[in-house]
Structure 1
Amino acid sequence: MLGGGIIDTLGAPLRRRILREVRATISGAADGSARIALSDDAYFAPDTVIRRVHGDVTSMMVGGIAALLLQMLHPAVLAGVWDHSNFREDMLGRLHRTARFIATTTYAHRDDADDVLAHVRAIHDRVSGVLPDGTPYDANDPRLLAWVHVCEAVSFVDAWKRYGRTPLSAAEEDSYFDQFALIAAKLGADLIPRTRAEADALIADIRPELLSDHRTREVAALVVRPRAASLAAVPVQALTIQAAIDLLPPWARALHGFGGAGVGAPLVRAGTSGIARTLRWAFA
């Protein structure tokens, strides 16, 4: 039987290839130049739940896509993307920037996190307009910021609960929402959920405002189109996208027209769990 050291040596080239593919897909930089330096003076201590959840690559990829699909169901969020971004040409760049924002505010020195937060607030200052029905919108609306935040929080923690290494207790799940609320508050959100129950209540309160139209469908089609860094990574990314759609609550899948979870859900979940185990090995 081969020893662990020999296995690690034989697996080193595969591990390096996986790392390059994932880094290129998430950050756009296969050489690792976009990596975040971990800091002991980050906003969250190394043993916090938020650092555990945000450190799982598969959960964050699946949860990140699901969060975008949830967020755009609010007409004001969709309008901000539609009116103020080049999403048709740079949807991948948007995903990269979101991943970097989460990583920086979770793990980097708090001065670096503050710089990123200030940059996002400055962008929000320029995002406002009028919806097709004449309703004004503003990216600095505290309620709208709370919606964007809760979509991310619920999606990330639900993805962890499905694909993460270990289960979360109810207390740990509430701690995650309480910790992540700090970032939402620094962006100007209001009525920020600090427990799972408060998160579910906020989503239920905002649900009547959500809708899907031709603009929603156009943006969603770009989000769920695989665009991996290489052809070899396309099947993995396609499975990750299906896992994100499967993670959405049934009412959100229905609004998007994705249909129910279907008979393929067990295969999607099993395949994504396999990807999660492989990535944990590669990033070990």
Structure 2
Amino acid sequence: MRGVDPGLFGPSSVTWQLHGDPMMWIAGVRALYLQALHPRAVRGVLQNSDFRRDAWGRLLRTARFVGTTTYGTTEAAEKAGARVRKIHTMLSATDPDTGERYGVDEPELLLWVHCAEIDSYLHVVRRSGFRLSDAAADRYVAEHRVSARLVGLDPADVPASTGELAAYFAQVRPQLAAGEEARTVDAFLRRPPTHPLLVPARALLWRRAADLAYAALPHHAHALYGRPAPPPAAVTRRLVTTGTVLRRVPARLRWQLPPKHILSAMARLGPGSRPAPYKVEGPAAILDGPGRARRGDGGDSTRCQSRGTPG
């Protein structure tokens, strides 16, 4: 449809297809676990909000931001980014050990949050059976220099491939720790407060989702938190099983959840803009069946290997 704004990414992007996958919810929880391991970054969150009372609100606001920047118009995405940048300029945190006061919009902190999110989205969705070639995975990471700009980063300073993303995590790893703030996030994610009538659902559904997100973290994150995880092969099987079940729910039904970003985008751009995994499949991925990939390193890298490939 000529003259219609496709937004920042558009229907031909990897982002457009991948962000429509239901495993993004598991990926979002993994991102929270990973982000909490940067002491300065998680301190900025906990000192400026009542995370224990408003964690659900934070999750939903993040999901709304991702949905708007992925499927909304360019104007809507730019406005969402401007709101985030404005809020960040007004917030600061204090290091309890040194008394240092610092802004939460420091590039170092923004970059950590960005990379933890992008790595988690790509890692979980891909590991759960979403067919994606290495080249397409690199395209996804590169596309998100756009979202990095929205939150105040210089795109030139942001990883543009899975290799650069892995190198970034290797560089920042010595700074990570599971301090008091990370323990607070962990405690919430394991047992979030809820209405008494919903406690059984929390035990049945949420706990399993949170456990799976935690299990999908890299090995060193498990070591920092001090809680073990199943073997990587078992985690991959659980991710594939969960992804298979969730993807059997009709997409149109899943996309009815407010605020219906995908349906709004399809109404704006036409039915041909419908997100679909096959639109980003590479030749190597097509030869594999769903879930036929396994993790080769267990770390932050998002690269996968086919079965039988030496790692």
The TM-score range, normalised by the shorter chain, is 0.7 to 0.9
Alpha-carbon deviation of 1:214?
Answer: 2.4
Which is helix-richer, 1 or 2? 1
In structure 2, which of residues 133, 146, 152 is the aligned counterpart of residue 182 of structure 1? 146
Which residue of structure 1 aligns with residue 225 of structure 2? Answer: 256
Which residue of structure 1 aligns with residue 132 of structure 2? Answer: 168
SS at match of 1:84: coil
**TM-aligned CA distance change 1:44 to 1:210, over 3 Å:** same
SS at match of 2:230: coil
Q: Give the distance between the partners of 1:216 and 1:171, measured in 2 at CA.
A: 34
Tell whether 2:18 aligns with 1:48.
Answer: no
In structure 1, which of residues 124, 131, 140 is the aligned counterpart of residue 105 of structure 2? 140
Q: Give the distance between the partners of 1:228 and 1:201, measured in 2 at CA.
A: 39
SS at match of 1:260: coil
Q: Give the distance between the partners of 2:210 and 2:245, measured in 1 at CA.
A: 13
User: What is the CA deviation profile of residues 63-103 of structure 1, one whole-angstrom value per residue up to 9, with x for unaligned ones?
Assistant: 10011111111111111112100111111111000100100
Higher-RCO chain (CA-CA 8 Å, sequence separation at least 6): 2
Alpha-carbon deviation of 1:41?
Answer: 2.7
Q: Give the distance between the partners of 1:196 and 1:131, measured in 2 at CA.
A: 32
User: What is the CA deviation profile of residues 129-187 of structure 1, one whole-angstrom value per residue up to 9, with x for unaligned ones?
Assistant: 321222443211112111110000000001111225x4111110000001111110222
Which residue of structure 1 aligns with residue 254 of structure 2? Answer: 283
SS at match of 2:96: coil
CA contact (8 A) 1:226 1:238 kept: no
Q: Give the distance between the partners of 2:199 and 2:71, measured in 1 at CA.
A: 31
SS at match of 1:89: helix
Which residue of structure 2 aligns with residue 212 of structure 1? Answer: 178
SS at match of 2:144: helix
User: What is the CA deviation profile of residues 212-266 of structure 1, one whole-angstrom value per residue up to 9, with x for unaligned ones?
Assistant: 1222111221123356895675323322212211110010111112213249636
Structural RMSD (CA):
2.3
Which 5+ residue runs of structure 2 have no aligned equivalent?
256-311
Which residue of structure 2 aligns with residue 102 of structure 1? Answer: 66
Alpha-carbon deviation of 1:206?
Answer: 0.9
Tell whether 2:122 aligns with 1:157.
Answer: yes
In structure 1, which of residues 49, 69, 72 is the aligned counterpart of residue 33 of structure 2? 69
Which residue of structure 1 aligns with residue 287 of structure 2? Answer: none
Aligned length: 244
Which 5+ residue runs of structure 1 have no aligned equivalent?
1-38
Q: Give the distance between the partners of 1:150 and 1:266, measured in 2 at CA.
A: 22
CA contact (8 A) 1:69 1:220 kept: yes
TM-score by length of 2: 0.72
**TM-aligned CA distance change 1:92 to 1:174, over 3 Å:** same
User: What is the CA deviation profile of residues 101-122 of structure 1, one whole-angstrom value per residue up to 9, with x for unaligned ones?
Assistant: 1000110011111111111111
In structure 2, which of residues 166, 169, 172 is the aligned counterpart of residue 203 of structure 1? 169
Tell whether 2:237 aligns with 1:242.
Answer: no
